[in-house]
A and B are shown apart, each in its own frame.
Chain A
Amino acid sequence: QKEVEQNSGPLSVPEGAIASLNCTYSDRGSQSFFWYRQYSGKSPELIMSIYSNGDKEDGRFTAQLNKASQYVSLLIRDSQPSDSATYLCAVLPGGYIPTFGRGTSLIVHP
């Protein structure tokens, strides 16, 4: 059973701070990694995808991938109350069967 682990939180940060979300995975053959945001009562929406080691930046979001250590993280700079949501890490192993973590709840307080 392929595992994707996330701390369920909640992670509480003040407005303007950096929020750091982490995810570890068990399948070393994993090729593709995704971060989704899910607001309460809504469906997941893609924030970032990352495929190779290192950092990938998109606006206030930075995804970091370390395949040797089998973790992927998401940094949110200048956090806003509208960023309050559950963040889901999804991993696509070599067999292309996607596995999601249980998500980390982020609360950004004014």
Chain B
Amino acid sequence: EAGVAQSPRYKIIEKRQSVAFWCNPISGHATLYWYQQILGQGPKLLIQFQNNGVVDDSQLPKDRFSAERLKGVDSTLKIQPAKLEDSAVYLCASSLVRQETQYFGPGTRLLVL
């Protein structure tokens, strides 16, 4: 069974630029999560999708971050414009249903200069 796929793996941008991350969850997994992990901290949930609907986005900085999950499968997370403090690893995870185990992708390391 293929795992969660993410791209790109690394991205370096200047502040105020835009960036987008892509995630393909495990086949059949209804729930998809985007996390931000800053060095030395645990993952912080940004947004959770159930199929193609948003379950929770209370910690998503909506003035600059946006996310969508078209057709309930792939998802993209966008930052526009980026700030220095957005430098982090962005993790995508999926689970079969909401209360079950999450499986993480390899993450995208973002450096904002």
Interface size on B, residues (CB 8 A): 22
Asked whether, in the complex, the Cβ of A100 is within 8 Å of the Cβ of B44, the reply is yes
Asked whether, in the complex, the Cβ of A96 is within 8 Å of the Cβ of B98, the reply is yes
Pick from A40-48, A53-61, A71-79 the stretch touching chain B: A40-48
Asked whether, in the complex, the Cβ of B33 is within 8 Å of the Cβ of A46, the reply is no
Asked whether, in the complex, the Cβ of A97 is within 8 Å of the Cβ of B42, the reply is no
A-B contact pairs, 29 of them (CB 8 A): A6-B42, A8-B40, A31-B99, A32-B99, A34-B102, A43-B91, A43-B104, A43-B105, A43-B106, A43-B107, A44-B43, A44-B104, A45-B104, A46-B103, A49-B101, A88-B42, A88-B43, A96-B98, A97-B48, A98-B33, A98-B45, A98-B48, A98-B102, A100-B44, A100-B45, A102-B40, A102-B41, A103-B41, A103-B42
Chain A positions within 8 Å of B102 at CB level: 34, 46, 90, 98
* Overall SS of chain B's interface: loop
Chain B positions within 8 Å of A92 at CB level: 99
Q: How far is the CA of A80 from the CA of B24 in the complex (A)?
A: 34
Q: Mark A12-38, 1 if CB is under 8 A from B, else 0.
A: 000000000000000000011010000
Chain B positions within 8 Å of A45 at CB level: 104
Chain B positions within 8 Å of A103 at CB level: 41-42
Asked whether, in the complex, the Cβ of A97 is within 8 Å of the Cβ of B40, the reply is no
**Nearest chain-A residue to B31 (Cβ)?**
A96
Q: Measured between C-beta atoms, what is the minimum distance from B49 to chain A in Å?
A: 12
Q: Measured between C-beta atoms, what is the minimum distance from B102 to chain A in Å?
A: 7
